[in-house]
Structure 1
Amino acid sequence: MTSDPRATARPSTEGGAVARTSTLPDGATAADTVRRTVLPGGLRVVTETLPTVRSATLGIWVHVGSRDETPALNGATHYLEHLLFKGTQRRSALDISAALDAVGGEMNAFTAKEFTCYYARVLDTDLPLAIDVLSDMLTDSVIDPAEVDAERGVILEEIAMTDDDPGDCVHDLFARTMFGDTPLGRPVLGTVDTVNGLTRDQIARFYRRHYDPTRLVVAAAGNLDHDLVVRRVQEAFERSGALARRAAAEPVGPRTGAKTLRGAGRVDVLERTTEQAHLVLGMPGVSRNDERRWALGVLSAALGGGMSSRLFQEIREKRGLAYSTYSYTSGFADCGLFSVYAACRASQVPDVLKICRDELDQVARDGLTDEEVRRAVGQLSGSTVLGLEDTGALMHRLGKSELCWGEQMSVDEMLARIAAVTPDDVRAVARDVLTARPSLSAIGPLTDRQTAHLHDAVT
């Protein structure tokens, strides 16, 4: 397959309106086919056909996330995600949930910092129902004032649940440590104060501003027919009048810009009476558009991506200092993070942090061995393929790729990019990223002496 499935574009007419459709070049098998259509109004539909399964997963991706919020609106994107399940002009909240329950389907949504996704997994024969229900939710929600008040309590409980999980909460804390009081640094859920302050009118305006067809991508994977999906999507969106309002509009492109992180060497600590201290040590990484992301992924896999990784071996296997430790990368449109996580008893914090810093410093100075790079390339390749073995994962790849990069990269192409990473590439990105002075976030029952070790770890 090619990285640009739009290369062989062909016009088609559906419902009397002209849609721009593209497909793969000759030679691709049916199971590999990815097709993309842009409907009048700028709505994109991307599908991948897998004729050997009996299910399909549909997702509607929205080009809006928590980084699009002002301080006063922090949490509005996630609040709105909840409210779109609470009723439309044609369906009550019970009608929405009952429609998918009646066919054994699964429906949910998630909000991230740069996008939101609503999705449903159903039998292939029930895909038209999923299209109708999700499209109705996104285009014709009533945002009932009573539901706004009722759901406020649910979201406050969700915030409380997250606060009760230090292994989850520490990553939000690290985002604040690195980005400060900026959209990328604020929590996706919002805070108790901002959620309590949001009004129905504010959320409704946010809905009208961001839920426009030009900012939406419909992605589907499974046993489906692309043309039928396009026709059903077009009918559903035309029913609400969403496409007619901006018939000549073009899709919104991927995000661009330049983001400056806060100064290095910052330490944020939340004192909690927990059994363990939860730590995130990290520094600026690369954006999701940076070609070095492939090498950084290999570096992360070698440092903390599996049982044979350096951090797992040194911290858990050899020293028995922690049960859970790993490294990870976060890529946004204009910046990124490289981070190491560990959870351990508070008394072990100095030793764990010293090992983390020693390993990062050594790799920054000397790089990885050729064998480590070879093993990390294999691990990353295998996990990439195994992670795409169901229709939900394939739908996720289609929608995120279209929204974030504006193109589709085949699995073979991704594997080729990973396989092309050389030890020199990894050494170069290690020098670029790991030589930066790190910052640190911690949650747990830390004494003053243990907290002092946190500051020592970032000097």
Structure 2
Amino acid sequence: MTSRASRTTARTSSEGRAVARTQTLLKGEGGAGTVRRTVLPGGLRVVTETLPSVRSVTFGIWANVGSRDETPALNGATHYLEHLLFKGTERRSALDISAAIDAVGGEMNAFTAKEYTCYYARVLDADLPLAIDVVCDMLTGSLIREDDVDVERGAILEEIAMTDDDPGDCVHDLFAHTMLGDSPLGRPVLGTVDTVNALNSSRIRRFYKKHYDPTRLVVTAAGNVDHAKVVRQVRRAFERAGALDRTDAVPMDPRGGTKAIRTAGRVEVLGRPAEQAHVILGMPGMPRTDERRWAMGVLNTALGGGMSSRLFQEVREKRGLAYSVYSYTSGYADCGLFGVYAGCRPSQVHDVLKICRDQLEDVAEHGLADDEVERAIGQLRGSTVLGLEDTGALMNRIGKSELCWGDQMSVDDMLARMAAVTPDDVREVARDVLGRRPSLSVIGPMKDRQTARLHEAVA
């Protein structure tokens, strides 16, 4: 069992000035990790989860910036910057950065999303000081040289081309545009060929200085770590770069907002030679802070979250109309999406869409059976625990929790929230979400008459 604790300690300098605030957020018991948070001068947060029983550590730095923070002209800048931070600092070349982690058998990478960016390294516990030094150096000392920008532009354009060559991936970008239009959340994380070609070092450097302030960063470590040692090492690395000079700065609050998606009945079709058509039928979901998200998770799992789900059974098992069919949710600070994806032969698109629409309407009107709800809760609880069996997953959990919610929830609390969902809770969410008129995104070799009929699927 993991229990909450609220003990707070403040270390002071010899002059009596507070220099750090440390809290024990979750006290680990029964094998769970102890989670602690320290806020350093300059507003930098350090959050760790200590698991003495493992020999590895995943260290990460989360930045509260994603593609939704870009103007249309800067679309792709966040992801471009992610690449450039690996290209070198005053202390290390790009080769030095990768060789340092390779030399100890570790792995290092990064990812950019619509609302945050994360840089991380996974190493043996004995090599954690090295990982801290390398990753912190990257985040605080990137040179962002024009030559590096020009070289990396080619790699990013190839990444865009690779995504475009995978319609099963590309259709998710199309669905975001269908639902959110030319808004920051509706634009692709990678940017476009035109916007990437237009970016230069000065524009990216200004973006970097604005969004990589310590108040916008969360430093995380999960595994066999000593919290106090991690804090000292991180502080030393950031102070070396002069990044903690603003001693009165405070951490940025989690994103907020009340944006509503009112899109209904929109259809976007992108013609492309392929053997399959890739379709997403969906509607507005809910923000990640909505208390009904637990019921939404159960609903999503029962509809399209596994082999026993309704959509898998109806579309694949009973009729063999698709190999891949599933549903998913995306929750942002102020809005959300719910979608049903299927990849099928172009001639089967209309049959697949009718089955999916019929299932959504049936659940919206009648809800789920009690055994479906019970099975979905069990699946969610099991997958949640199994998904946290490595230090990388734990680092992701505490980092996202701090950045997106400003708090930590124990695994036991999460499991309890799932178990408390009732069929009535799911029925209410189904009426609210699935009862709306859907929109549709399709990529594939669709003929004109097929495209004309697609509007019937959302009528």
* Bin of the TM-score, shorter chain as denominator length: over 0.9
Distance of 1:262 and 1:413 partners within structure 2? 33
Question: Does 2:363 match 1:359?
Answer: no
Aligned to 2:183: 182
- After superposition, residues 32-181 of structure 1 pair within 5 angstroms as 32-181=33-182
Question: Does 2:379 match 1:379?
Answer: yes
Matched position secondary structure for 1:53: coil
Contact in 1 for aligned 2:2/2:28 (Cα 8 Å): no
Distance of 2:202 and 2:125 partners within structure 1? 38
Residue type matched to 2:202 in 1? D
Distance of 2:11 and 2:275 partners within structure 1? 61
Distance of 2:112 and 2:413 partners within structure 1? 28
Residue type matched to 1:309 in 2? S
Aligned to 1:280: 280
- After superposition, residues 250-261 of structure 1 pair within 5 angstroms as 250-261=250-261
Distance of 1:184 and 1:23 partners within structure 2? 35
Contact in 2 for aligned 1:3/1:409 (Cα 8 Å): no
Aligned to 1:289: 289
Distance of 1:315 and 1:94 partners within structure 2? 49
Residue type matched to 1:106 in 2? E
Distance of 2:413 and 2:315 partners within structure 1? 35
Deviation at 1:2, TM superposition (A): 7.0
Contact in 2 for aligned 1:78/1:189 (Cα 8 Å): yes
Residue type matched to 2:332 in 1? F
Gap change, CA 1:420 and 1:14, over 3 Å in 2: farther
Deviation at 1:29, TM superposition (A): 5.5
Aligned to 1:197: 198
Question: Does 2:241 match 1:240?
Answer: yes
Contact in 2 for aligned 1:83/1:148 (Cα 8 Å): yes
Deviation at 1:409, TM superposition (A): 0.4
Q: Could you tell which deviates more after superposition, 381-390 or 21-30?
A: 21-30
Gap change, CA 1:306 and 1:14, over 3 Å in 2: farther
Matched position secondary structure for 1:22: strand
Distance of 1:285 and 1:3 partners within structure 2? 31
Residues paired across the two proteins, number: 457
Distance of 1:219 and 1:398 partners within structure 2? 7
Question: Does 2:215 match 1:207?
Answer: no
Gap change, CA 1:25 and 1:320, over 3 Å in 2: closer
Distance of 1:28 and 1:58 partners within structure 2? 22
Deviation at 1:447, TM superposition (A): 1.2
Q: Unaligned stretches of 5+ in structure 1?
A: none
Aligned to 1:427: 427
Contact in 1 for aligned 2:4/2:27 (Cα 8 Å): no
Deviation at 1:148, TM superposition (A): 0.4
Aligned to 1:221: 222
CA distances 1:46-89 after superposition (whole Å, capped 9, x unpaired): 11111111100011000000000000000000000000000011
Distance of 2:147 and 2:127 partners within structure 1? 31
Deviation at 1:360, TM superposition (A): 0.1
Deviation at 1:248, TM superposition (A): 1.1
Matched position secondary structure for 1:281: strand
Q: TM-score, normalised by structure 1?
A: 0.97
Structure 1 vs Structure 2 CA RMSD: 1.5
CA distances 1:243-272 after superposition (whole Å, capped 9, x unpaired): 11x111000010011223253100011101
Residue type matched to 1:219 in 2? T
Deviation at 1:323, TM superposition (A): 0.3
Contact in 2 for aligned 1:30/1:51 (Cα 8 Å): no
Distance of 2:151 and 2:302 partners within structure 1? 47
Question: Does 2:398 match 1:415?
Answer: no
Contact in 1 for aligned 2:26/2:36 (Cα 8 Å): no
Distance of 2:3 and 2:28 partners within structure 1? 15
Deviation at 1:450, TM superposition (A): 1.8
Distance of 2:128 and 2:207 partners within structure 1? 29
Distance of 1:450 and 1:290 partners within structure 2? 38
Deviation at 1:133, TM superposition (A): 0.5
Q: TM-score, normalised by structure 2?
A: 0.97
CA distances 1:411-437 after superposition (whole Å, capped 9, x unpaired): 000000000000000000000000111
Deviation at 1:170, TM superposition (A): 0.2
Distance of 1:250 and 1:204 partners within structure 2? 23
- After superposition, residues 258-273 of structure 1 pair within 5 angstroms as 258-273=258-273
Deviation at 1:126, TM superposition (A): 0.5
Aligned to 2:11: 12
Deviation at 1:446, TM superposition (A): 0.8
Residue type matched to 1:156 in 2? L
- After superposition, residues 445-456 of structure 1 pair within 5 angstroms as 445-456=445-456
Distance of 2:309 and 2:175 partners within structure 1? 23
Aligned to 2:396: 396
Deviation at 1:324, TM superposition (A): 0.2
Distance of 1:418 and 1:198 partners within structure 2? 45
Contact in 1 for aligned 2:26/2:34 (Cα 8 Å): no
Matched position secondary structure for 1:188: coil
Gap change, CA 1:148 and 1:4, over 3 Å in 2: farther
Q: Could you tell which deviates more after superposition, 59-68 or 259-268?
A: 259-268
Contact in 2 for aligned 1:60/1:117 (Cα 8 Å): yes
Distance of 1:82 and 1:387 partners within structure 2? 27
Deviation at 1:24, TM superposition (A): 4.4
Matched position secondary structure for 1:320: coil
Matched position secondary structure for 1:184: helix
Distance of 2:328 and 2:263 partners within structure 1? 21
Distance of 1:197 and 1:25 partners within structure 2? 46
Distance of 2:341 and 2:26 partners within structure 1? 43
Contact in 2 for aligned 1:140/1:240 (Cα 8 Å): yes
Residue type matched to 1:144 in 2? R
Contact in 2 for aligned 1:174/1:440 (Cα 8 Å): yes
Matched position secondary structure for 1:23: strand
Residue type matched to 1:72 in 2? A
Gap change, CA 1:380 and 1:27, over 3 Å in 2: closer
Deviation at 1:12, TM superposition (A): 2.7
Residue type matched to 1:416 in 2? A
